[in-house]
Amino acid sequence: MASHRHSRLAVRGPVSIAAGVVVAAASVPFLGWIVGLLAGWSVLAIVNVAWLLSTIWPMDAAQTRAHATRDDPGRATARVIALVGSLASLLAVVAVLIRQHGQPAMTFAVAGIAIIAVVSSWALIQVDYLLRYAHRYYAHGELSGAARGIDFNQEEDPMYSDFGYFSVGLGMTYQVSDTNVTTNEIRRIVVAQTLLAYLFGAVILASVINLVAGLG
């Protein structure tokens, strides 16, 4: 079962990239380069997030520990792609907003793609941080409980779903809920995530809402 999950995760990147390229190539002739690339990125992010969550969400604590601590040379590369791609998609959404300013009503298709691009990028960032928290937590195998950086206020070791709860809570509210952060290392990661979440929530989503309000 573990090897099957690892195999699924290994092909996640190529499959999501291929899906994004196909959608972008099909969209560009009709929607232009910026919107077409946004559509392709949205599909890439959605496939990536759905594939990853369907694989890791059912894992118990032991499986989570094994997966989070295994050697993965592509971990850093995937993180950079998620961050750079998400920020680039935000810039593209801003470009779409600027280009459409003062123009006749934007089509529902373009507005929908802009919204999906923002939401899918936000989700990709939360999943990336979910994985990062699990990796850093279980990297300190010689420690236990709160000494690893996050106190989940439970006796059993956390599963990926627990780290998802922690990550999404930060991504939506910019603060922890009923968990405690106990190390400087985790606090640094939390600061980076909440700053990104604020960028998505306070700036981009507000712009997209204004865009949709202007549809005619």
pLDDT digits 0-9 by tens, 149-190: 999 999 899 999 999 999 999 999 888 888 999 999 999 999
149, 182 contact by CB (below 8 A): yes
pTM above threshold 0.75: yes
d(CA 64, CA 159): 6
CA angle 113, 115, 120 (to 5 degrees): 90
| pLDDT band, very low/low/confident/very high, at 143 (cuts 50, 70, 90) | confident
How does pLDDT run across 56-67, given as a tens digit for each residue? 999 999 999 999
Q: What is the mean pLDDT of residues 133-155?
A: 87
Contact between 64 and 160 (Cβ < 8 Å): yes
- Residue 180 sits at φ, ψ, to 5 deg, of -120, 135
